[in-house]
Amino acid sequence: MKVTRILRPSAALLAAAFLLLTTTHVDAQRRNRDKQDTPPESPKQEAPKKNEKTYESVVKGLKADDGLFKVYQNDEKIMFEIPKSELNKDMLWITRLVSSPENLSPFLGSGWKMNEQVVQWQEIKGRIYLKSISYNNVADSTDAIYKSVADNNFAPIIGSFKIEGQPKDSSAYLIDITGFFNQDTRAISALSSGLRSQLQIRRLENDKSYVESVKSFPINIEVRQVMTYDAGRPPSNESAGVISMKVSQSMVKLPVYPMMPRLADERVGWFTVGNINYSSDALKGDQVSFLKRWRLEPKDPAAYARGELVEPVKPIVYYLDPATPEKFRKWFKLGIEDWQVAFEAAGFKNAIIAKDPPSKEEDPDWSPEDARYSTVRYIASMTRNAVGPSTADPRTGEIIESDIIWFHNHLRSYRNWYMIQTGAANPRARTLNTPEDDIGEMMRAVIAHEIGHALGLPHNMKASSAYPVESLRNPEFAEEYGVAPTIMDYARLNYIAQPGDGVTRFIRKIGPYDKYVINWGYRVIPGANSPEAETNTLDRWILEKANDRMFRFGSSNGSNPEAQTEDLGDNSMKASAYGMENLKKVVPNLLEWTTTAGESYDDTQEIYGEIIGQWRRFVGHVITNIGGVTENLKSTDQQGAVFEVVPESQQTEAVNWLMKYAFATPDWLLDENLLRKLEDFGAVNRIRSTQSSFLNSVLDPVRMQRLIEAEAFKGRNTYTIYQLVTDVRQGLFTELASGAPISTYRRNLQRAFVERMEYLLKNEASSFQAREVNISQSDIRPVVKAELRALLRDIGSARGRYTSDRAGNLHLADLKDRIEEILDLDN
């Protein structure tokens, strides 16, 4: 989620924004809506006429479930009894995937939120309407502009229902909602317009779709649907011509008394909710963003104000899924309660608690679907992932409930990564039967990471760059600080530690940034009764840490080497060199570490493939330095630039690293004894495609354009596009100067260079790249032509030395012909 840049908002803006969310104003809004949309309450219904069904006869034979609404249902019908007291109340409606079709999307799976909206049930002219309410545009109800905001944001009606009856006391309305769930209701569909187009969805197959369950709890209603669609292009089992999915519809009542929001600041990482405030004194509709966070209030405000640790009125409690294997429960609880130390930094003790689920005897009504209970779900799935979603009040950012999802097969991820990244220096990782304590510690870290998301924290990919690379080889440092200042970075395992360093802790943990960010977002500021009153204190806390790299926040954007996924340390080249040397020690041991007598080589092949993936990651970390731009978020009263070009020496170091570890033939991956147990052939093409992808990334048009822009500002006091292309050409064609034989792998790589030059000379940027670069109007093509001419001269000078090397001679002759054709030298 993008954090909107709200640094130092005006007092008027904050006052107006918070006024919207106070109880008085919420009531005023509702009264105004009632005046505009709702006629006076309908008179009591008359006694039923002859042949009209009574209330009792309508619900006869239906099973009742009491909760937020009383639900009546059987296999054919679903009815809601909506209390009049719940009309015109804000409720959050969330549509999630429970079970998705195979190969639907790498980014969609069980637990994914597909849609979220605020709804209200309203009685108008003798019918019940379900409206989708937006808080994207707001204004103070006392301002004249409020009417314009209301008129230009009229709520769409997503459901209309006949009133089927009322109970004897006339306190509620009974509606038949069966069709709303049985039809393809777009407003609550799990299929976006893009997915419908991609899958060529034609219609809902009603006879293959049904409501699996409807449950009513005190503050929420949960509906499970199985939906089957006629699809022209299903993602799997194409011959079936349909896709089926299980979908959950959750309706959660929002707090009657909204929590006081806290204004977001981009310098501190938080998930946010936001709106455009038209009551701002700024000469525009002003964007306001609030933190997503739980409502934590001290039991003893006086003691809290004195600086004592105080328990919250209502702690954050996570229950374990009853399906969680017993041997893992300890680690899940530790991962949840690891955040206690961070909340202590914010003045709260026992702020977050892990519990086993109650037994049927202890609480027969307990259910993980009850929104009063947050849970860590254990899902038996082949998905290698975990997620930490939460449900938040869009008016204020208050988190209402959360369900962490752990997919069983994520164990496989950490089993593999542990061996690949730490096996060289860590004897405990040299087996696929990872010791229980080690896999438990890794699960603990994953759960803590996902809990962090559910507390409101996004990824902080900048954090790991705060630690000096050499510190991660120090056993005492690694034990105390883990691998990064926050568990919210994608910095999972210490791949830097070398054999003999004595490091024993390789797994991430809660760090200094986590304590800082929880204090910043959750500490109650005594005497501050509005968001405006908090801003000076919050800003001071940021400035106090501004010069300490451990407390900086940043998201990965593909051009900032200080904010990357899966990286460690303050220098990509040093860190990745240590990582590569460790990989070279792991590969020769794969057969010993991954095979069992009488079994196949499947595990060995899987680990080998993931080692290539790790090589790709290391190379990617280094490439980002070329044409890189660092970002250090600042407010306007802080000195210095926000964006700075990576120094020339660092970019040169990156190119030199690539020549050694990316473009030199990776003999360490080409162990014939190993490969002939895994495949009949494929190594040459695999190395070709991998190195070609590295080369294409280095010579990416947008990267080259960033170099051009850096030179435009700095002159030649920076690494230039001319240096880059020349350095790459010379590094890939060293044999032309040395006369060394040109191997199969190098011939492939050299042809890839010439093909990349041709692409840059004859093709425009992709639609995505074109937003940032126009190749034909940039300096890219003159540079490409110059380098091809230089290469042509070098080939001409070198060809005489390859008369006895038939493959080398044919290769150079072919390159000469290709380059002449590209440059159109015959015409």
Residue 145 sits at φ, ψ, to 5 deg, of -70, -15
CA distance 115 to 137: 19
Phi-psi region of 469 (alpha: psi -120 to 50; beta: other; left: phi over 0): alpha
pLDDT more than 90, % of the chain: 75
pLDDT at 803 over 90: no
Q: Which residues are paired to 374 by β-bridges?
A: 318
Look up residue 111 and give its two tokens. 């637990």
Residue 778, pLDDT score: 95
CA distance 633 to 623: 23
> How many other C-beta atoms are found inside a 10 Å radius of the C-beta of residue 824?
7
pLDDT, average across residues 204-219: 94
Q: pLDDT grade, residue 283 (50/70/90)?
A: low
Amino acid in the structure at residue 599:
E
The dihedral built from the CA positions of residue 781, 783, 784 and 785, taken in this order, carries a sign that is: positive
CA distance 118 to 93: 6
Q: Which CA distances in Å does 86 have to 172, 254, 347?
A: 9, 11, 36
Domains in the chain: boundaries: 23-46+53-257
Among candidate residues 575, 719, 562, the one with its CA nearest the CA of residue 661: 575
Name the residue with higher pLDDT: 461 or 274: 461
CA distance 735 to 543: 54
Q: pLDDT, tens digit, for every residue of 488-521?
A: 999 999 999 999 999 999 999 999 999 999 999 9
CA distance 118 to 30: 14
Cβ(100)–Cβ(110) under 8 Å? yes
DSSP 52: P
Directed axis angle between helix 531-545 and helix 11-21, to 10°? 120
Residue 770, pLDDT score: 78
pLDDT at 483 over 80: yes
pLDDT at 9 over 90: no
Alpha helices in 22-173 (DSSP H): 23-37, 55-59, 145-151
Amino acid in the structure at residue 65:
D
* Element holding 769 (H helix, E strand): none
CA distance 756 to 763: 10
CA distance 295 to 390: 13
Look up residue 534 and give its two tokens. 């908090």
Q: Which CA distances in Å does 119 have to 122, 155, 224, 533?
A: 10, 9, 19, 31
Cβ(206)–Cβ(233) under 8 Å? no
CA distance 809 to 796: 11
Q: Which residues are paired to 586 by β-bridges?
A: none
Residue 91, pLDDT score: 95
b/e string for 477-507 if b means 16 or more Cβ within 10 A?
Answer: bbeebbbbbbbbbbbbbbbbbeeebebebbb
Q: pTM here?
A: 0.88
Amino acid in the structure at residue 138:
V
Q: pLDDT grade, residue 18 (50/70/90)?
A: very low
Among candidate residues 260, 261, 267, the one with its CA nearest the CA of residue 540: 267
Residue 2, pLDDT score: 37
CB-count burial class (<10 Å; 0-12, 13-18, 19+) for 50: exposed
b/e string for 57-82 if b means 16 or more Cβ within 10 A?
Answer: ebbeeeeeeeebbbbbbeeeebbbbb
pLDDT at 553 over 50: yes
Rg over CA atoms, the chain: 31
Look up residue 513 and give its two tokens. 């940034």
Among candidate residues 686, 802, 784, the one with its CA nearest the CA of residue 735: 802
Q: pLDDT, tens digit, for every residue of 698-721?
A: 999 999 999 999 999 988 789 999
* Element holding 452 (H helix, E strand): helix 436-455
CA distance 333 to 318: 9
DSSP 348: B
pLDDT at 746 over 80: yes
* Average pLDDT over all residues of the chain: 90
Least confident of 74-78, 96-100, 268-272, 456-460: 96-100
CA distance 187 to 133: 12
CA distance 691 to 472: 29
